[in-house]
Every structure is written in C-alpha cells, then in structure tokens.
Structure 1
Amino acid sequence: MRQLRHGLRTFGALLATLGTLALALSAVAQDAEPAPDARPVHVAPLTGPIGPATAAFVTGAIEEAEREARALVIEMDTPGGLVDAMREINLAILSSEVPVIVYVAPQGARATSAGAYILYASHLAAMAPGTTVGAATPVEFGPASEPPELPADTPAEPAEPAPSDEAAPAEGDAAPAEEPAPSSAQAMRNKVVNDSVAQIRALAELRGRNADWAERAVREGVSLTAEQAVDMNVADLVAPSLQALLEAADGRNVTLVEGRELVLALAGAEVERVEPGFALELLQVITNPNIAFLLINIGFIGLLASFYNGLEPVTLIAGLICLIVGFYALNTLPVNYAGAALIVLGLGLLIAELFVASAGVLAISGLAIFALGAVMLVDTEIDALQIDWRLIAGMTAALGALTFAAVSYGLAAQVRKPVSGRESLTGMEGDVLEWDGAEGFVHVDGERWHAVSKDALAAGDRIKVTGIEGLTLTVKKL
C-alpha cells in the first residue's frame, strides 16, 4: 500500500512537471510569433513642380514615417522640376528604413521628367488609371534633333575593302575632310543626357524595372499610360484608389536599404495624411520664381522711395527685407546670371534717367533691357518654374510709370516759381518810393528795396520785378 501511494505521488509530480513545461513552451511560441503591426500608413502629397520646398517636405515625411509608420505612400502629380531637388528625394527613398510607395494619382495625373526618376526609385511603383509616366529628357536641352545614336549591340556596316594602289588618290588631290568636332553646346548636352541615362538605368536595375525603356524616356522623351507601364515593367501595379493600392500591395516583397527583405502587410491599415507645415508652405511660396521676382522689384522700389525721402527707415527696412528674401529664393532656382546682369543694368539706366536729361532714351533702353533680363532670368523650360510674361509686362510698365512720374516731378520743380526767399520776388509788382536817374528805392512785398531800371521812373510809378542780384532788384515800368 505504501509503495502504491509512493508511485502515485511520483506520477503526480511527473504530470505537474510536464504541465509546467508545456505552459512554458506555449509562452515561448507565442512570444516568437510576430505581433501584428498596428502602425498606420502615412500618405504625403507631391504635386506641382519639384523644388527645394518639395524636397524638404518629402524627406521630412520619410523621416517621420521611419519613426511612426509601416510604410509611406507618396501621391504624385508633377510635371518635373529641379535636378538637385529630385536627387535629394531619391537619396531619401533609397536610404529609407520603411517602404516608400509612389502612387501616381489621381486620374489624369502625370509623373514626367523628374517625376519618372522618383517613380523608378520607389520600392513599389503604382499608378491610377488614366495617368502617364515618362518624358524624362533634361528639359534645358530637350530631345535631340539629330537621329538617335545606334545601340551598342547594333551590327556595324561591313567595311569596304581598302582601295588598291592604283585607286589611291593622286598626289596633290585633297584628302577627305574629317567630320567636325561637336560644338560645346552639343558636348554639354551629351554630357547631361548621358549622366541622366546612367542615373535612371541604375535605379531601374536596382528595382528590377525596365532599364531600356527608361533610357528611351531620357533620350527620346517617350511616355506610357498606366496600363502600358505595368505591361512593360515600368510600374508594378494599377490601382483605382488608395485603398485598392494597399490591398494590392499587401503580401508583396520589397527590398529596403542594405538588401533587407520585407513582406508588405498593408491590407486594412489605418491611413494618416501628412501635410506640409507653415514653414514649408512659406518656403514653397517664396521659392516660386514669380514671387521671388516680385519681391526683388518691390525691394528696389522701396529703397528708391527711402532714398528719395532722406533714408526714411520704414521703407528702407521693408525694401531690404524684400531684396534679401527675393535673392534667397532665386538662389534656390536655376538662375541665368546673364539675365540677372541685364536686370541690374536696366534698373541702373532707370536711375540714371532721374539725373541725366536724356529725353527718355535711358529710360526706354532700361525698360527694354530689364524686360529682356527678366525673360532670361530663370534658366529652365519647365513652365511652372518660369516667370510669367504677364508679371514681367506688369512690372516693366510699373517701373516705366514710376520713372516717368519721377522725371516729370523733377522737371516741374525746375520750372516752378519759388514761393519763398529772394527768388520769389521775381514777377512781383510794387511802387517807386524814390528815384534818381537809373536807380532808386521801391516798395515790393511789404519791404523797401534798392532797385535799378532802364526805364525813366518817378516816385509813385508802378513797377514789376524782372530780376535780382544781391540786394538790388531789376525792375521795369508798368
């Protein structure tokens, strides 16, 4: 009996040990299972031309997503923009710790020029129906007008046999002319285009996308619709809405920085939109070339008004602030320094008109040079980054009107009759008090004056002052 009880106790202890071990293994297994990611998906807009403000916003959105989100979706609709800003965005995408999905949306949107490079850099490229991608030729140069170069693998034409000695040109005959070397402009174009091709091909090879079509987009400026882009392995998928995009992207495998593989888990994720703050919105406003151009002109007018009023401080400080902000904005844009020099020259001629009597020649020349410089100021063919011709015309007309008003005021001041001092006596009338021969004393403007005259005068005669020299008036008889 005692042995039976001992065996039962041993069996019970064994069961307790096994139960404890089972619970421990269960807890370890639960800890090993990854907890579902409760972080949201951030969505950031990228619309309009790509400039410094856009680059700052997108890079900031990527940094925020790395801290708070499981992925970042960039909703893009852009005609392109500055190369430096585009490269800053691409560097941020390539080094991102979270997946960056570029979604060309809404319907009718486009990812052209710099936008095509950003699409190629993304971890997942998506497009809404009715959108387009391509036309990635550097816009400062445009597509080549000459026939495109043959690919490297194109078979060369068979070489003709070398001519025999009998067919050699006679001595004294002109040798065949060598092909002229490319011009400096063409050489620069080739340099920029080849650099752009290398960059977009590198992005295509990194993401496993169509590198040959990417090169054509740069060299020939070709474009694709959303469906064509997916068929040609330029984009990964077509999605009619953001939710459809998240559902379609769920379960896809992407490669992050340093080759880390990640399976996207985006279905049913909460969506949080990221908007630019006040500082970025202000930066985007002042880096608009039209606003920058307007600020510089307002600053110039403010300085002129301050100098005219004896360095009046309010207009002086306001003018300096406008000039500083305007020049800062222009520093972020592709400025043509020849255009900037023409603007300065034109303004200088307008100032010279105020001091030199040129019958308007300096003013007209200055206005024409100013307008030409304004047209040349921003060196790009992207419409959204060019100065509006209506603003140029308006500012030219405004400066012309101000110059005309200043010159007219100066001329009027020269012919205006003095209203105080001795010069104001010219033209006044008075009476002769005493007279002897060619001189005497007269009463003018309530005062007694010594006077001379060629007329025969006598006390009581009415006279008019025709001039003054020192303290002596020249008068004539009325």
Structure 2
Amino acid sequence: MLKWWIPLAVAGSVVGTAAPEPAQVGLIRINGAIGPATANYVARAIDAAAEQHDQCLIIELDTPGGLLESTKDIVQTFYASKVPVVVYVSPSGASAGSAGVFITLAADIAAMAPNTVIGAAHPVAFGLGGGADSSNDVMRKKMENYTSSFIESIADKRHRNVEWAKSAVLQSVATTAQKALKANVIDLIAEDVPNLLKQLDGRTAGGRTLQTANAKIVDIPMSPGERVFQLIWRPEVMFLLLLIAMYGIIGELSSPGAILPGVVGAIAVILLLFMSATLPVNVAGLALIGLAIALFVIDVFTPTHGVLTAGGVVSFFLGALMLFNRAAPGFALSLAWIIPATVITATFFIFVVGKGIRAQFTPVRAGTETMIGKRVIALSLTDSRGGQVFFEGERWNAVSKTPIEPGQSGEVTGRNGLTLNVKPTT
C-alpha cells in the first residue's frame, strides 16, 4: 500500500512548488544632450536595476553629445555597476555622437539599431568649463591628449577597437552600425528591444550569463526632480536667469524700494552661480554683456543721440552669441533666443530703466521745494516779528530776518506751516 503513496507524494510536492519568477531587465531612455541630470538618472537606474535583480539594464541612447564631466561620471558608474549595462543606440536614425561614443564604448555590451551612427568625439565638441578657450592651441592639444587617452582606456577595458576609438577623438571619425560591428566597435545590431533581448540571451556580461529571451521589460522613468533638473540645466534657462538677474537688480536700483525686483534678481544670481559650476560659460561673453549694461546706463545719464545705446546693443548681441560658444552639442544658444533678448534688453534699458533713473533727478514739482526762490511782494512791514506778503495771488503770513518795507519785493527761503520765510531781493 505504501508504494501507491510515494508517486502521489512526489506529485503533490511538484504541484506545491512555486514557479520561478520570470527574469526581467531594466530599461531607460536618454534622448538629448548629456548633462548632470542625465548622470544622476543613470546612476539611480543602475541602483534600481540591481535592487530588482534585473538581468541587465538597457540604456536606449540617442544623443548629439554633452558635458565631459557628466560623461566621466556615467563611465565611472558603469565600471562600478553590479548589474550588466547594455547601451543600445536606437531607434533607426539615432546617433551616439561626442559624449555618446564614450558612453557606448564603456558599456558591458554595446548595441546599435540599423541605420544609426556612432562617432565624432573630438574634444572641441565638449563643454570644457573653467573659461578655457578652445581656439587656444595648447589647451586644445591638452584636451585632445586627455580625451584620446580616456577613450583608449575605455576601449581597452571593454576589449573594443582601440585605434578606431582614438580616431573618433583625434580625427572625428564616425561610422554606421554595420561598419561599427565589423570594426569591433560594438557587439551586435538589433532591430528593436525584443530582438536585442533574444541576442543578449546566453551572452556573458558583468560576470554572469544573461537570461533575457523571455525577460520582462521594466521601465525606470526619470523622477520628477530629475526632469526638473534636466530642464534647468540648459543654456536657454541660464540665459533667461541672466536676463532676470540683470533686469531685477537694475530695476531695483533705478526704482529704490520696489523690493520685488531686487529679491527676484538676487535669487536668479544664486541660481546662476550654481549652474555656472557645470555649464561652460565664456568669460568674454559675460564681459561683453556687462559692457552693454554699462553703455545703456551711461547713455541714460549722458544722452549721446543713441550712439552708446547702439554700442550696447552690438555688445550685448556679441556677448550672448559668445556666451556658450564652447558648449557641447545640444548646449549651444540659438539666434532664436539671442535676437529677441537683445531687442527686449535694449528696450528695457532705454524706456524702463531710463525713465526710472531720470525720475530720481527730476526736480520736485510739489510742496515747499517748489516755493523756494520765488518772488513775493510785501503788503506790510515784514520783519522777524511777522508781516504779510503777496505770493502767487494769495496773502501769506511771513517773517524775515531783514525787514522788508511794504511794496518791496523779496523771495521765499522756506516755509513753517502757514508762514513763509522770506528775505529781501538783492
């Protein structure tokens, strides 16, 4: 009888055993310039994928480039990752330019969709920061040597084509997905993410064998804070903050006591200082904008028939044009922002600030100040004990240290309530 129970017990144990959870992979999408917000997003996504025990993290990438410091942060995050990282240049028509080359080569597995491009990582395209001029031969050579060594170390670590990687930096070489695969720049070409998962299945990456054939895809979206910072870390936003700071502070100086313009301007200045630590700003551009402000203000005090204002307009335009001229692709300031800002700024200084400053120097047109120096006629003997004078069609009580005979003229020197202080006309 016991023999009948053995198969039943085995069957019961099989039925009672829970089916293993299906494998899953994390997925994030980066579309646009690489900046600090992108680096934070990638780091958080890698941590999330590790906590979820994902087979790997797939990064769909389409970027024209970005900031060098942010690129370095992402590469270092890849190296320290506990989960394999797959960079997938996608969709068709996408590119991994400049910073995207470093990021793609640094991944555990590099993949591209058909009809995509990778390359052109010359350091001139990077935002170098710190006020260095990319046209300077010495600085350019230093950056070329540094970025060439950087990408060489990445390619060597990931066993990719080192010579091609160096040529992408030194000669701005770019190539298609098919040629990149043949040149050992990438590991595979996939039509889409499902096809990518099939090709990843069974591959070894990050010290593990991937099981992705039927893996569940879990999107890891940007957090609200990361989205906000992604929007803020733009040259357009920094340029707007510069204008707000300028308008606010100058507006407060031209109209003391308004308070709000000064507060808004001060906040904008603090945000500008915070952003300038990461976004590359040309000092010469800032100097030209400062010169433009000075010319606008001077023209208010010493009218030159528009000569200084015209110079200020030209200076502001050139300064705005140069402000981010060394920035990475995707971080340049377009004429669509510069031209309207120049017109608005010139208008602001000519009309708003000009009227505010002139108002401070306009003579008072009401009160005692308007009476001083005006002529009076004595109607009676007017001395220190008092008297009466005729002033602008009215009788006024008046006192004078020097007596004024009736019919004599005098002038107002002050007023005390309803009594005028007068003196004889000399």
TM range (shorter): 0.7 to 0.9
Q: Deviations over 1:5-54 (max 9, x none)?
A: xxxxxxxxxx9xxx9xxx9xxx9xxx9xxx95635211111111111111
Query: What does residue 31 of structure 2 align with?
Result: 47
Quote the residue 2:368 is aligned against: 421
Q: Deviations over 1:64-121 (max 9, x none)?
A: 1111122100000000111111111011111211110001111111001110111111
Q: Hey, what does 2:293 align to over in structure 1? A: 347
User: Quick one: distance in 2 between partners of 1:231 and 1:107?
Assistant: 18
Establish whether residue 393 from structure 1 lines up as the match of residue 344 from structure 2.
Answer: no
Q: Which residue identity lines up with residue 369 of structure 1 in the other structure? A: S
Q: Deviations over 1:174-216 (max 9, x none)?
A: xxxxxxxxxx933332322222222222222222222222222
Contact 1:125-1:237 within 8 A present in 2 as well? yes
In the alignment, the residues of structure 2 paired with residue 337 and residue 411 of structure 1 have an alpha-carbon distance, to the nearest angstrom, of 32
Q: Does 1:377 align with 2:377?
A: no
Identity among equivalent positions (%) equals 32
Work out whether 1:407 is the aligned partner of 2:358. Answer: no
1:432 Cα deviation from its structure 2 partner = 10
Superposed CA offset, 1:318-372 (max 9, x none): 2211221122122211222232233334334434444455554444434433332
Does the Cα contact within 8 Å between 1:431 and 1:444 map onto a contact in 2? no
Counterpart-to-counterpart distance in 2, 1:422 and 1:192: 67
> For 1:63 and 1:384, how far apart are their aligned partners in 2?
27
Does residue 84 (structure 1) correspond to residue 31 (structure 2)? The answer is no
Query: Conserved in 1, the CA contact under 8 Å of 2:23 and 2:214?
Result: no
Q: Which letter does structure 1 place at the counterpart of 2:38? A: T
The aligned amino acid for 2:33 is P
Q: Structure 2: where are the runs of 5+ without partners?
A: 128-134, 382-387, 399-405, 415-420
CA distance in 2, matches of 1:228, 1:422: 85
Matched residue, 1:323: 269
For 1:207-356, list aligned pairs within 5 A.
207-254=158-205, 256=206, 261-356=207-302
Question: For residues 424 and 221 of structure 2, what CA distance do their matches in structure 1 show?
Answer: 80
Change over 3 Å in CA distance of 1:220–1:119 after alignment to 2: same
Tell me if the contact between 2:373 and 2:413 (Cα under 8 Å) persists in the aligned partners: no
Change beyond 3 A, Cα 1:413–1:202: closer
Higher relative contact order (CA 8 A, sep 6+): 2
Distance across 2 between alignment mates of 1:412 and 1:215: 63
Aligned pair partner of 1:63 in 32, 47, 67: 47
The 1-side partners of 2:362 and 2:266 are apart by 35
Preserved CA contact (<8 Å) 2:126 2:328: no
Q: Look up the SS of the partner of 1:200 in the other structure.
A: helix
Change in CA separation of 1:50 and 1:189 when aligned onto 2, cut-off 3 Å:
same
Return closer, same or farther for 1:130/1:425 CA change in 2, 3 Å cut-off: same
Contact 2:125 2:329 in 1 (8 A): no
Aligned 8 A contact 2:295 2:311 in 1: yes
Q: What secondary structure sits across from 1:384 in the alignment?
A: coil
State the TM-score, normalizing by the size of structure 1: 0.71
Deviations 1:269-327 (A, max 9, x none): 11111111111111112110110111121122122333344343333222211221122
Q: How many residues align?
A: 392
For structure 1, which runs of at least 5 residues remain unmatched after alignment?
1-14, 143-183, 451-457, 460-464
Determine the C-alpha separation between the residues in 1 that align with 2:357 and 2:274.
Answer: 35
Partner residue, 1:168: none
3-state DSSP class of the match of 2:330? Answer: helix
Q: 1:442 aligns with which of 345, 370, 390?
A: 390
> d(CA) in 2 for partners of 1:402 and 1:387?
21
Cα separation, 2, equivalents of 1:374 and 1:358: 24
Q: Is the 8 A contact 1:306 1:313 kept in 2?
A: yes
User: What secondary structure does 1:386 align onto?
Assistant: coil
Q: Are 1:38 and 2:13 matched, yes or no?
A: no
Note if contact 2:30-2:62 (Cα within 8 Å) is conserved in structure 1: yes
- Please, which moves more after superposition, 117-126 or 229-238? 229-238
Please tell me the residue identity of whatever aligns with 2:114: P
After TM superposition, the score normalised by the length of structure 2 is 0.79
The answer to whether residue 146 in structure 2 is matched with residue 195 in structure 1 is yes
Assess, with a 3 A threshold, how the Cα gap between structure 1 residues 422 and 98 changes in structure 2: closer, same or farther. Answer: closer
Q: Is the 8 A contact 1:432 1:443 kept in 2?
A: no
State how far apart, in whole Å, the 1-side matches of 2:169 and 2:357 are: 58
Look up the equivalent residue of 2:60 and give its one-letter code. E
1:310–1:238 Cα change, 3 Å: same
Q: For 1:474 and 1:238, locate their aligned partners in 2 and report how far apart those are by CA, in whole Å.
A: 102
Q: Deviations over 1:196-247 (max 9, x none)?
A: 2222222222222222222221222121111221122211111111111101
Is it true that 1:136 corresponds to 2:106 in the alignment?
no
Larger radius of gyration: 1
Cα deviation code 1:392-446 (max 9, x no counterpart): 2222222211221132465577677824435269999x999799xxxx9535253
CA-atom RMSD in angstroms: 3.9
Q: CA deviation at 1:449?
A: 8.2
